[in-house]
Amino acid sequence: MSMSSAIHKIFLKKTRKKLSNLHAIFEANGPLYLSSSKEDLFTYMARLVCSQQLSLSAAETIWKKIVAQLESDNRFLFEACNNDYIDKIGSCGLSGNKVKALLGLKTAFINKEISKELLINKTHPEVVKLISSFWGFGPWSGDMVAMFYLGLNDVWSHGDLILNRGLNVLSDKTSYSESELLDFFSPYRSYLALHIWKATNNKLL
């Protein structure tokens, strides 16, 4: 049995009697899977920059434009993030601040201030602290790196609007406060987040 399937069974068992609304959501969603990203860290963090404060569809559109631009010019993202080429990347739909964040991120990688090796054994709070130390990256970015790049099981992003709304709706439907719900699902809060995102997308919340 995979880790994700085992956690799904735990969620169903924990909520069968106490949290029927959540139990129904877990059953409808089915097992959800979390694994570490195979993408290189620079590219993953560049994608995060693109997605900040945008809908998923808008972020994907911009990223596809960037990829197409790079392929057209036969360039790789890391080396293309320089003062001579960055305007072309920016013209795909990035704000000036996001362009600045990309340039700063490349400098951080060159100076070995960040790497996969530096992150691999860190806890969630330690990951957030490191990621947030770079210009243009905050706690939400750190949460996403911890959850989707490193595949940590117990991450909850307090800065994610969809998660906050979903947790509030669930709290209103139960006798549990928001903090009590988060405690209830520790140490698997990453999976609770996956369920809330999917349930929201499928209009179950």
**Chain segment 35-67, per-residue pLDDT in tens:** 888 889 999 999 999 998 888 899 999 999 999
Instruction: Return the pLDDT at 70.
Output: 96
Residues 45 and 75 in one domain: yes
Residues 25 and 123 in one domain: no
| C-alpha to C-alpha distance for 100 and 63, rounded to whole angstroms | 17
Domain total of the chain: 2
| C-alpha to C-alpha distance for 95 and 116, rounded to whole angstroms | 27
Instruction: Return the pLDDT at 176.
Output: 93
Q: Which of 112, 128, 149 is the last residue of a domain?
A: 149
Q: Mean pLDDT across the stretch 104-129? A: 96
Name every residue whose Cβ is closer than 8 Å to that of residue 70 and which is 6 or more positions away in sequence: 76, 77, 80, 89
Name every residue whose Cβ is closer than 8 Å to that of residue 94 and which is 6 or more positions away in sequence: 49, 50, 62, 66, 102
Output the domain CATH number for residue 131. Answer: 1.10.340.30
Residues 118 and 64 in one domain: yes
| C-alpha to C-alpha distance for 51 and 47, rounded to whole angstroms | 6
Query: Which is nearest to 104 in space by CA: 179, 42, 166, 149?
Result: 42
Residues 91 and 180 in one domain: no
Q: Which of 105, 122, 149 is the last residue of a domain?
A: 149
Instruction: Return the pLDDT at 38.
Output: 85
Residues 27 and 104 in one domain: no
Residues 132 and 175 in one domain: no
Output the domain CATH number for residue 19. Answer: 1.10.1670
pTM: 0.92
Residues 143 and 82 in one domain: yes
Instruction: Return the pLDDT at 12.
Output: 96
Instruction: Return the pLDDT at 1.
Output: 55
Domain that holds residue 170: 3-34+156-201
Per the prediction, the chain carries an average pLDDT of: 94
Residues 64 and 139 in one domain: yes
Residues 186 and 134 in one domain: no
Residues 22 and 106 in one domain: no
